[in-house]
Chain A
Amino acid sequence: MEKRRLNNGKIKVLDSLPMLIVCIAVILALYLVCFTQIASTNAMRYMIQIFLYIAMAEMWNLLSGFTGMTSLGQQLYIGLAGYSVAVATTMLHLSLGLGMAMGIGVSILVSLVLSLLLFRMEGMYYSIATWVVAEIFEKLFLNWKFVGQGSGMTIRVEPYPRIHSICIISLTICVCAIVVVYLLLRTKVGLGLNAMRDDVGAASAVGVNVFRHKLLVCVIAAAFTAAAASIFLVNKGIVYPESGFSISWTVSLIFIVVVGGSGTIGGPIVGSVIYVFLQEILARFPGWSNIILGVITILTILFLPKGIVGTLQQKLHFDIFSAKRFSYSKRK
Chain B
Amino acid sequence: MYVAQVIINGIMLGNVYALLGVGMSMILGIVKLTNLAHGEFIVLGAYLSTVLAPLLGIHPILTLLITVPLMFLLGYLLQYLLIGRAMKKGNEPALLVTFGLSVILQDGMLMFFLADSQHISLPNGMGTIQLGSLEISTLHLMLFAISLVTMAALTVFLKYTYTGKAIRATADDADVAALSGVNIGRIYAIAMGVALASAAVAGLCVGMKWTYDPSAGSSYLLIAFVVVVIGGMGSIPGTLVAGILFGLAQVIGGASYGLPISYVLLLIVLIVRPKGLFGK
- A complexed with B: yes
When the two chains form the complex, which single residue of B95, B97, B271, B274 contacts A122, counting CB atoms closer than 8 Å? B274
Q: How many A-B residue pairs have CB under 8 A?
A: 99
Residue of B nearest to A242 (CB): B215
B263 on the A face (CB < 8 A)? yes
Contact (Cβ within 8 A) A294 B100: yes
Residue of B nearest to A121 (CB): B274
Contact (Cβ within 8 A) B274 A298: no
Q: How far is the CA of A131 from the CA of B103 in the complex (A)?
A: 14
A211 on the B face (CB < 8 A)? no
Distance of A119 from chain B, by nearest CB (Å): 9
By a CB distance below 8 angstroms, the chain B residues around A72 are: 36, 99
Q: How far is the CA of A295 from the CA of B99 in the complex (A)?
A: 11
Q: Which of B81-102 contact A (CB under 8 A)?
A: 82, 85-86, 89, 91-93, 95-97, 99-101
Q: Which of A93-126 contact B (CB under 8 A)?
A: 117, 120-125
When the two chains form the complex, which single residue of B85, B101, B222, B264 contacts A294, counting CB atoms closer than 8 Å? B101
Residue of A nearest to B272 (CB): A120
Q: How far is the CA of A124 from the CA of B82 in the complex (A)?
A: 19
Distance of A194 from chain B, by nearest CB (Å): 15
Distance of B149 from chain A, by nearest CB (Å): 29
Contact (Cβ within 8 A) A120 B260: no
Contact (Cβ within 8 A) B104 A295: yes
Contact (Cβ within 8 A) B274 A287: no
B176 on the A face (CB < 8 A)? no
The segment from B6-14, B45-53, B105-113 that touches chain A is B105-113
Contact (Cβ within 8 A) B96 A301: yes
Contact (Cβ within 8 A) B100 A297: yes
Residue of A nearest to B92 (CB): A70
Q: Which of A70-89 contact B (CB under 8 A)?
A: 70, 72
Q: Which of A127-178 contact B (CB under 8 A)?
A: 127-129, 131-133, 135-136, 139
Residue of B nearest to A122 (CB): B274
Q: Which of B208-256 contact A (CB under 8 A)?
A: 218, 222, 225
Q: Which of B55-84 contact A (CB under 8 A)?
A: 82
Q: How far is the CA of A285 from the CA of B95 in the complex (A)?
A: 27
Contact (Cβ within 8 A) A305 B93: yes
By a CB distance below 8 angstroms, the chain A residues around B110 are: 287
By a CB distance below 8 angstroms, the chain B residues around A128 are: 34, 36, 225
Contact (Cβ within 8 A) B103 A294: yes
B259 on the A face (CB < 8 A)? yes
Interface size on B, residues (CB 8 A): 35
Q: How far is the CA of A72 from the CA of B37 in the complex (A)?
A: 14
Q: How far is the CA of A134 from the CA of B82 in the complex (A)?
A: 28
| Interface SS of chain B | helix
Q: How far is the CA of A129 from the CA of B266 in the complex (A)?
A: 9
Distance of B41 from chain A, by nearest CB (Å): 15
Q: How far is the CA of A9 from the CA of B257 in the complex (A)?
A: 59
Contact (Cβ within 8 A) B222 A302: no
Distance of B254 from chain A, by nearest CB (Å): 15
B159 on the A face (CB < 8 A)? no
By a CB distance below 8 angstroms, the chain A residues around B274 are: 120-122, 125
Binary CB contact string for chain A from 247 to 286 against chain B (1 if under 8 A, 0 otherwise)? 1000100100010000000000000000000000000000
B186 on the A face (CB < 8 A)? no
By a CB distance below 8 angstroms, the chain B residues around A125 are: 270, 274-275
A185 on the B face (CB < 8 A)? no
Interface size on A, residues (CB 8 A): 37
Contact (Cβ within 8 A) B263 A135: yes
A1 on the B face (CB < 8 A)? no
Contact (Cβ within 8 A) B101 A132: no
By a CB distance below 8 angstroms, the chain A residues around B263 are: 132, 135-136, 139
Contact (Cβ within 8 A) A290 B107: yes
B267 on the A face (CB < 8 A)? yes
Q: Which of A40-76 contact B (CB under 8 A)?
A: 64, 68, 70, 72
Residue of A nearest to B34 (CB): A124
A35 on the B face (CB < 8 A)? no
Q: Given A120-B274, A293-B103, does the pair A287, B111 have CB atoms closer than 8 Å? A: yes
Contact (Cβ within 8 A) A129 B100: no
By a CB distance below 8 angstroms, the chain B residues around A120 are: 270-271, 274
A291 on the B face (CB < 8 A)? yes
Q: Given A129-B270, A139-B259, A298-B97, does the pair A305, B89 have CB atoms closer than 8 Å? A: yes
Q: How far is the CA of A64 from the CA of B271 in the complex (A)?
A: 21
Q: Which of A285-318 contact B (CB under 8 A)?
A: 287-291, 293-295, 297-298, 301-302, 305
Residue of A nearest to B263 (CB): A136
When the two chains form the complex, which single residue of A123, A132, A294, A297 contacts B267, counting CB atoms closer than 8 Å? A132
Binding site for A on B (CB under 8 A): 34, 36, 82, 85-86, 89, 91-93, 95-97, 99-101, 103-104, 106-108, 110-111, 218, 222, 225, 259-260, 263-264, 266-267, 270-271, 274-275
Contacts A136-B267, A251-B99, A294-B100 known; list 5 others, CB within 8 Å.
A120-B274, A124-B91, A136-B263, A295-B104, A301-B86
Binding site for B on A (CB under 8 A): 64, 68, 70, 72, 117, 120-125, 127-129, 131-133, 135-136, 139, 247, 251, 254, 258, 287-291, 293-295, 297-298, 301-302, 305
What are 16 pairs between A and B in contact, CB < 8 Å?
A117-B271, A123-B91, A124-B91, A124-B95, A125-B270, A129-B270, A132-B266, A132-B267, A247-B218, A254-B100, A289-B107, A294-B101, A294-B107, A295-B100, A302-B82, A302-B85
